[in-house]
Chains A and B, each alone.
Chain A
Amino acid sequence: MMSASPVVRVPLYRLAHSRSGDKGNTSNLSLIAWREDLYPSLRDAVTAERVADWFAARRPHAVTRYEIPSLHAMNFVLEGVLDGGVNDALNLDAHGKSLSFWLLAMPIDVPARLVAGLPDFNAP
């Protein structure tokens, strides 16, 4: 076995991008690696359990993860997180459009060798 390589903690948005969609009281969050070589790290780090914990304040009934390696993407389906859905919620964002941007704030440990070249804000 090789020794453990050093890791660096980065926010998830540096590894992947995401869009949320809604159907009834269920939200789906895609998570798409910026590059194919980032996908294995993403798959290891962002498990269904971790996403369920991360969204604990929205009290999901269930979180299912689907893997789509050909798109180097995953799809998370979070049931019961939309306060009843677009016709029932009191939340201003009844569609849960913002939920993907909470996902992208999740801290992720990635091998240090991958960090160089990760996209980041180039704001002045």
Chain B
Amino acid sequence: MVQSAPLLHIGCASGFSGDRSDGAAPIVAELIRRGGGVLIFETLAERTLALAQLAMNDDPQRGYEPLLVDLLEPVLADCLAHGIPIVSNFGAANPSGAARRISQLAQTLRVRTPRIAVVSGDALRGDDAMQALQRCTPDIDLSALDVVSATAYIGAAEIAEALRAGADIVVCGRVADPSLTLGPALAHFDWALDDWPRLARATMAGHMLECGTQVTGGYYAIPGLKDVSGLDHTGFPIVTLDADGHIELTKAPGTGGRVDRAIAVEQLLYEVHDPGAYLTPDVVADISHAQVVQMEGDRIAVRNVHGHARPATLKVNICYRGGWFAEAEISYAGIAAHARAQLAADIVRSRLGDALTLRVDFIGVQSILSDDEGAFQPDGHAHDPYAFGDVRLRVAATHPERQVAERVLREVTALYCCGPAGGGGVRTSIRQRLNMVSTLVPREQVTPSWRFWEES
């Protein structure tokens, strides 16, 4: 290790909103053993942010990651005591609300008062912002939509500034997932913001981290073909970057799961389109010549990542209230299970007529691979509907009016008495949809900023 270029260790203890909350403690223990590092949590998906915005509309104190306290409570004291900054997008629609809740948690835990930075500017609100957005989205009349949120993916620069200014915790909303890793790297190594090769390497490190255990054996196993042991206590990943952004990846010691080349390549390509142009707000990363090298123990290295100048535009997700989404299920098992489920579906179709466009699934026979038209007919996989079976009929539909959508629930429920023999276990649900359109806006239309949070 070259003394002038200390390594940076970054662990990621969450891959989505709803992930396990016991991943952080083993990472923090390892970071302490190594003399420091950064802990990140990734908790925002495409739809999570709009749900958070709805929660904030109901209650201005909410709108941040619901599991915030579960994630932080086990490790906040150790991170503060050992100078391990925490960076996350768990602010969702309300980073200030998350900061307030973290401050309360610190008081409850009787730890020192953390310096909490809040990153903002991702949320596009107000008439001026919507008019600017409309000019970038000529194909869609935004005024006709019941818009819940419009949010730009912003980059790593504000995270880096906040860390350089001494933040213990950086609370973001919609920053790009890899920026959670690039921000600490920018602060640590003092790279220029147009040092594209280094920014690209750290960005791909962030890409490897951002889904948590998906790079350490989660989401990989097929029994007998792709076995992974210890998935009941899978270790979350830790990346080590050097001053040139070169990447090594491992997992917290004493945990389950595995780090190997095959798993790492699956995650490297996860949600990538053109491998020569992985677009982020910070850089265009290029993995078209990348290599993943297996190293001793649970370690891999990623080599030959290239970088190109960042895009002139930022991606914006616009979420709006859609129709009502109705789902209802009923089960048929034993002799002629599939035939009875088919009859039940025919009855529901006949009763609803043209009122709704239905999707019908026969769970246990065919429910996933087909599209809504049911056109999927795999060769050699034909199913005898009169054979002994175990089939769950699922009927789903959406409609702008709740009362119409609810008819799905009514008709499936009525199958208890009026349908084929032996239907049981009806479950129904109805909820309002959040639909989304994505667009690109010139970067100048978005003005990210950060500040230290203070109780107002």
B47 at the interface (CB under 8 A from A): yes
A22 to B269, CA, bound (A): 12
A90: B residues at CB distance < 8 A: 325, 359, 372, 396-398
A43 at the interface (CB under 8 A from B): no
In B321-363, which residues have CB < 8 Å from any A CB?
A: 322, 325, 359, 361, 363
B contacts with A: majority SS: loop
* B435 pairs with A88, CB closer than 8 A: yes
- Which residue of the partner chain, among B273, B289, B290, B397, contacts A23 with CB atoms under 8 Å? B273
- Which residue of the partner chain, among B225, B271, B276, contacts A28 with CB atoms under 8 Å? B271
A32 to B435, CA, bound (A): 33
- Return the CB mask of A7-23 against B: 1 if under 8 Å, else 0: 00000010001110111
Binds B, one of A45-53, A79-87, A109-117: A79-87
Interface size on B, residues (CB 8 A): 53
A73 at the interface (CB under 8 A from B): yes
A114 to B335, CA, bound (A): 44
* B304 pairs with A17, CB closer than 8 A: no
Report B134 CB to chain A, min CB distance, Å.
Answer: 20
A26 to B226, CA, bound (A): 26
A99 to B434, CA, bound (A): 24
Q: Given known contacts A17-B262, A32-B262, is B291 in contact with A87 (CB within 8 Å)?
A: no
Report A92 CB to chain B, min CB distance, Å.
Answer: 6
* A28 pairs with B273, CB closer than 8 A: yes
In B30-52, which residues have CB < 8 Å from any A CB?
A: 46-47
* A30 pairs with B434, CB closer than 8 A: no
A102: B residues at CB distance < 8 A: 369
A63: B residues at CB distance < 8 A: none
A24 to B437, CA, bound (A): 8
- Return the CB mask of B233-258 against A: 1 if under 8 Å, else 0: 00000000000000000000000000
B276: A residues at CB distance < 8 A: 66
- Which residue of the partner chain, among A32, A34, A59, A71, contacts B291 with CB atoms under 8 Å? A71
Q: Given known contacts A87-B435, A92-B368, is B274 in contact with A66 (CB within 8 Å)?
A: yes
* A28 pairs with B272, CB closer than 8 A: yes
* B271 pairs with A21, CB closer than 8 A: yes
A74 to B289, CA, bound (A): 12
A108 at the interface (CB under 8 A from B): no
A123 to B268, CA, bound (A): 29
* A86 pairs with B273, CB closer than 8 A: no
The tally of CB-CB contacts under 8 A between chains A and B is 126
B94 at the interface (CB under 8 A from A): no
* A71 pairs with B292, CB closer than 8 A: yes
* A121 pairs with B224, CB closer than 8 A: yes
A81: B residues at CB distance < 8 A: 371
* B322 pairs with A75, CB closer than 8 A: no
Residue in chain B with minimal CB distance to A82: B371
A91 to B396, CA, bound (A): 8
Interface size class of A (residues with CB under 8 A): 35 or more
In A27-74, which residues have CB < 8 Å from any B CB?
A: 28, 30, 32, 34, 57-59, 64, 66, 68, 70-71, 73
* A119 pairs with B225, CB closer than 8 A: yes
* B272 pairs with A21, CB closer than 8 A: yes
* B436 pairs with A87, CB closer than 8 A: yes
A19: B residues at CB distance < 8 A: 219-220, 266-267, 269-270
- Which residue of the partner chain, among B266, B288, B371, B396, contacts A32 with CB atoms under 8 Å? B266
* B436 pairs with A120, CB closer than 8 A: no
Residue in chain A with minimal CB distance to B398: A90
Report B335 CB to chain A, min CB distance, Å.
Answer: 26
- Which residue of the partner chain, among B266, B271, B433, contacts A87 with CB atoms under 8 Å? B433
Report A28 CB to chain B, min CB distance, Å.
Answer: 6
* B368 pairs with A71, CB closer than 8 A: no
B377 at the interface (CB under 8 A from A): yes
Interface centre among A23, A75, A87 (most CB of B within 10 A): A87
Report A32 CB to chain B, min CB distance, Å.
Answer: 5
- Which residue of the partner chain, among A17, A68, A99, contacts B266 with CB atoms under 8 Å? A17
Q: A98-B368, A120-B225 are in contact. List 16 more A-B contacts (CB 8 A).
A: A19-B267, A23-B273, A26-B273, A32-B266, A34-B262, A57-B370, A57-B377, A58-B370, A66-B273, A66-B275, A81-B371, A86-B46, A87-B46, A91-B368, A92-B394, A122-B224
Contacts A/B (CB < 8 Å), 23 sampled: A21-B272, A24-B436, A28-B271, A28-B273, A30-B270, A30-B272, A68-B288, A68-B290, A70-B304, A71-B269, A71-B292, A83-B371, A83-B372, A86-B47, A87-B434, A90-B396, A90-B397, A92-B368, A92-B394, A93-B368, A98-B369, A105-B378, A123-B223
Interface residues of B (CB under 8 A from A): 46-47, 219-220, 223-226, 262, 265-276, 287-292, 304, 319, 322, 325, 359, 361, 363, 367-372, 375-378, 394, 396-398, 433-436, 438
Q: Which 9 pairs across A and B sit closest by C-beta, in order of nearness? A: A21-B271, A30-B269, A90-B359, A57-B376, A19-B266, A123-B224, A121-B224, A90-B396, A57-B375
